Amino acid sequence: MTFPSAITQVVRLEEQSQVGEARRCAQKLADSLGLDATDGGRVALVATELASNVLKHAGHGELHLRALPHPEAPGVELLAVDRGNGFDVHACMADGFSTRGTQGIGMGALARQSEVFDVHSDSRGSVVLARLYKGRSQQAERRLGVTQHSLHDDPACGDAWQVSFSSDGISVLVVDGLGHGEEAEKAAGFGCQAFGLAPFARPEQVLEDMHQAMNGSRGGAAALAQYLYASEQLHFAGIGNIGACLVSPGKTRGLASHPGIVGAQFRRVQPFSFNDCTGQLLVMYSDGLQSRWNLIDYPGLVHRHPAVIATVLHRDFCRGRDDVTVVVIALEPAHV
């Protein structure tokens, strides 16, 4: 199964009327995925409560929405993002708990409405994740987190990503078309099309195919990582300035790319291999994200859901002058 690139939908939360907008956007996304009235109602409720909590406790923030595609069990991802003073996660999981004297339904109740629920909160702010799937199924759930944003909310994004799962492993691509806007988006799209034809071919061959497909376009940077269940190895190859690293508690290991431009200045690359990768996080990101971050500076974050990790990194390290994509995936044994 392949998860395709998609821009994160952002609803800004600065005043009360935007709670209704958040609810409507989430409901529309649920409807577009074929969720029925019951599941759509759950999505609307969770969106309303998450947006309301941001305004009540942080004053302002955002609600991020993303579709979770699946042929039988699609879902909706919601992330409440703020830069408030944080809160006591354990206390807020109790039903009826409120720090503002209002009744509140409690995060525990929101968690029960969701198939996946996770929180990270500290003095820099909070990120709350909820994923809701059609029919409450979790067969589509993957410990994969992605956040993708275009510069100045342009409808065209020069970044693209793809993640493919098979019985043998996981293949992850991040590609950044040169510049931004429509021409950069076209270049990245050509690369994704080539990747999609054979995502588990040898990494150097995938990049060669992408180079041919992107020839004549602006070209761009690209990095490919393949994690194989049987050997627990990760194979990585990259050209240009896509950042990548393997993260485990207390340790981060950078993955190096070769210089060049896929589609223009290309030199055949030799992939790097890494052993014993099960249990680690793979983080890949375009150069719209600063590279000087370390999860050690965020106690407990490495244990949170990859979607929470990706969103925290975007919130705190987005450069704000280019498209930005962050992909975080837990390298785990084959999905049952």
pLDDT at 266: 81
Share of the chain above pLDDT 90, in %: 85
Residue among 157, 160, 134 nearest 69 (CA): 134
Rounded to two decimals, what is the model's pTM? 0.94
Specify whether the CB–CB gap between 54 and 80 falls below 8 A. Answer: yes
pLDDT at 94: 57
Q: What is the pLDDT of residues 49-68, one digit of tens each?
A: 999 999 998 999 999 999 99
Cα dihedral across residues 93, 301, 81, 79: positive or negative: negative
Residue among 237, 252, 246, 242 nearest 276 (CA): 246
Please spell the DSSP secondary structure of 91-102, one letter per residue: HHTSTT--SSSS
Distance CA 140, CA 1 (A): 10
Distance CA 214, CA 212 (A): 6
Q: What is the mean pLDDT of the chain?
A: 92
Q: Any residues with CB less than 8 A from the CB of 86 and at least 6 apart, and which?
A: 121, 122, 123, 124, 125, 126
Q: Is the pLDDT of residue 101 over 60?
A: no
Mean pLDDT along residues 285-294: 96
pLDDT at 37: 97
